[in-house]
Amino acid sequence: EGELVEAERDMISGLPDCVLLHIMSFMDAKDVVRTCVLSKQWKDICKRLTNLTFRDHHLREIYFRKFASWVLSNRDHSYSLLNLDITSEVEVDVLNMIMKYVVSHNVQQLIMHIVISNIPTLYSPPFIFSCGSLTFLKLSGMCDPYTILLPKSIYLPALKSLHLESVNFTTTNNECAEPFSNCHVLDALYLENCSMHNNTQVLHISNPTLSRLKIRSYNLLFDRKAYKIALSTPNLRSFSIRGIVGHQLSSTCNLSLLGPVSFGMSLVTNSIILGWLQGLANVKILTLTSFTLQEIYDVSYFLLIFCIFVYLNAQNMFTFTCHFFSSTLSCISKYAF
């Protein structure tokens, strides 16, 4: 009778290994390791996970070093580690160890939200920006733009999606940074609160395959300086920008494939916003925030820029006065065709 009760209580162990592996893929690495004490079956299963997540803000650095090293070195390497997700405060040598593991074991998706401790200067991650297996990379300096320095050029031949947050771009001549041109299959790029190192003036986003671009720039915590953004992205199909930093835009191509654009900039000058809209004049679907429209003084000039727009969506129109709303509708009816 006791054996029957125990069997009923441990029905989960009877599930196929593939199901157990799927369940454990949603667990933090610390909880995964705890299952090792259940039985030899669980001990072997936890070593075969293809997804690993380290998310423990309260784990002291010395323990994280030992724990991450133990987990990675004791894996069953006949099972490829496909996805690695880390959110933690780490030391430089631990971070280097992890990234070396990523490169040598052909990890495909890497997410790192990191705070690097005991570092007096900017840190430039080795290994990872020349990894041939990565298809997805998300790297965040955890809101501190003065920590991570990207290399001058990123060589990621299999990368399809790149998300960079609170990192620094750099270049050789301190004028124009062009980091993305060697990502030959890149489809999606997301930049959030990124900065320029030293006197770099221009971020050149040059990539023939890029189709989706998002930019976020809010200087709520740090004094981020505005810089110029130059687009050489003939395949760009969707674009979104939000922020309060007045970056300027230019484009070397006419962006003829550009479809939906979401535009929300505030606390910047009228000329900066109109400059962006001129650069995106081929847009077919445009979404503007109310804050952006409030910054545009001459609505009729704005509509003339978009002589071929198909659909205009103004978000939060209720914040406008009746006079502004009626003048906007008047201009739309005047120039619509």
Nearest to 165 by CA among 114, 105, 223, 238: 114
Looking at per-residue pLDDT, the higher value among 275 and 216 belongs to: 216
Across the range 89-108, mean pLDDT stands at 89
Tens digits of residue pLDDT in 323-337: 555 555 455 445 444
pLDDT at position 207: 96
Q: Give the E-state strand segments of the chain in sequence order.
A: 51-55, 83-91, 109-117, 136-140, 161-165, 168-169, 176-177, 188-192, 195-196, 202-206, 212-217, 228-232, 238-243, 248-251, 260-265, 285-288, 311-314
Tens digits of residue pLDDT in 7-64: 555 677 778 888 888 888 888 888 888 887 777 777 788 888 899 999 866 666 677 8
Which of left, alpha, beta for 212 (phi over 0: left; psi -120 to 50: alpha)? beta
310 vs 144: CA distance, rounded Å:
40
pLDDT at position 182: 93
Nearest to 242 by CA among 274, 275, 266, 273: 266
Instruction: Please report, for the chain, the start and end positions of each structural domain, with discontinuous segments joined by +.
Output: 277-337
Looking at per-residue pLDDT, the higher value among 84 and 282 belongs to: 84
Window from 26-30, 275-279, 302-306 with minimum mean pLDDT: 302-306
pLDDT at position 337: 47
Q: How many helices (H) and strands (E) does the chain have?
A: 10, 17
